[in-house]
Amino acid sequence: METVRILRNVFLRTFLVGAGIGLLFAVATLAGWNLWMPLGARLFHTDEATVTMATLQFFVALRFFLWFVVLAPALAMHWTLKAEATRSQ
């Protein structure tokens, strides 16, 4: 049970750190969009729509990873530990 508790804590902390970094990326992206987006489009020889789509896909993938790969197992472990604690009392 101690291993499951440690693993749950790692998943929860990974979710919090990932959400914080994702929020930082979102703020930086929105703050510098007008300045950096044309430069990125010119640097990678593409148009604004492609850069916008790549940015959107990044944030969708980050959200999917944080919710379904990190948070869902952490919540499952949390509920399992809670059920075991209730059952042992």
Provide the residue ranges of all domains of the chain, joining segments of one domain with +.
2-84
41, pLDDT greater than 90 = no
DSSP states along 7-72: HHHHHHHHHHHHHHHHHHHHHHHHHHHHHHHHHHHHHTT--HHHHHHHHHHHHHHHHHIIIIIIIH
H or E element that contains 1: none
Band of residue 44 on the pLDDT scale cut at 50, 70, 90 = confident
Residue 69: which pLDDT band, with cuts at 50, 70 and 90?
very high
